[in-house]
Amino acid sequence: MTKPSRYDRIAFVASPSSEAQTAFNQLTAQYGNCNPDEADVVVALGGDGLMLQTLHHHMRTGKPIYGMHRGTVGFLMNEYSAHDLRARLETAHESEINPLLMRATDVNDRVHLHHAINEVYLFRQTSQAARLRILIDERERMPELIADGIIVATPAGSTAYNLSAQGPILPINAALLALTPISAFRPRRWRGALLPNTAYVVIEVLEDDKRPVAAVADHEEVRRVRRVEVLSDKSISMRMLFDPGHSLEERILREQFGT
């Protein structure tokens, strides 16, 4: 008798691209398409943008998410194949990640709460550089940073915007966050810092009337912020599945060696 799969009930989601939609039609015809609320696993067909959307949508469900690359950027995705999908799911390795929680207070004292899987970042809204004050665990660490902005990145997000801003790549299981400036002017040689993922990060905007700053948690933007608080939300754990040899840990290692 064939042993039942842990992933008999599969829910498929796909980006609007023709490539992803073709894959969606092929896979749903072959494996069916379960309601996501009743599924054992969610399979996302697209690129990293769709994977982030899917993770956000299922953030509190605890459902494993398995991505297959049918988009542009596929760092978080597995290779696409319609063959023996349930067997692939059974042998996949699981990576567990915690999102960041951003608490942004705007200049009108409204509070905005958003989660981020990749990063929270602040960025100037006008031609003038931002002036920022940085506190870690309620202790001032930098009285003034003049820059285009600053990034707080998770290990999962360390290869995204953070890497483009010359930030460090973090192993997925590292209990760290990357704090990376964007085009720092003062102090010019400051490259950022590595923080424990238990850190409570506060960024205050100096001269918020003259030098307005926006805060972004993945794709959620808050304009004209005055104060932004960031911490890792340990109450939420998301499960990502990767084929053997293509785990997020392995991808991050390869990225560091340019392979």
Q: Has 156 been labeled as part of a binding site?
A: yes
Q: Has 159 been labeled as part of a binding site?
A: yes
Q: Has 66 been labeled as part of a binding site?
A: no
Q: Has 49 been labeled as part of a binding site?
A: yes
Cβ neighbours for 122, distance < 8 A, ≥ 6 positions apart: 130, 132, 149, 150, 203, 205, 213, 214, 215, 216, 225, 228
Q: How many CB atoms lie within 10 A of CB 22?
A: 13
**Residue 242, both tokens:** 């990767």
User: Which residue of the set 8, 40, 48, 233 is catalytic?
Assistant: 48
Q: Has 209 been labeled as part of a binding site?
A: no
Q: Has 35 been labeled as part of a binding site?
A: no
Q: Is 109 annotated as catalytic?
A: no
CA–CA dist 208, 130 (Å, integer): 9
Q: Has 118 been labeled as part of a binding site?
A: yes
Q: Has 161 been labeled as part of a binding site?
A: yes
Question: What DSSP letter does each residue of 36-61 carry, written as one string?
Answer: GGG-SEEEEEE-HHHHHHHHHHTTTT
First-to-final CA distance of the chain: 43
Q: Has 119 been labeled as part of a binding site?
A: yes
Phi–psi pair at 198, nearest 5 degrees = -95, 0
**Residue 234, both tokens:** 């340990």
Q: Has 2 been labeled as part of a binding site?
A: no
Active-site residues: which are they?
Answer: 48
**Binding-site annotation: residue ranges:** 48-49, 118-119, 148, 156, 159-164
For the annotated binding site for NAD(+), the residues are 48-49, 118-119, 148, 156, 159-164
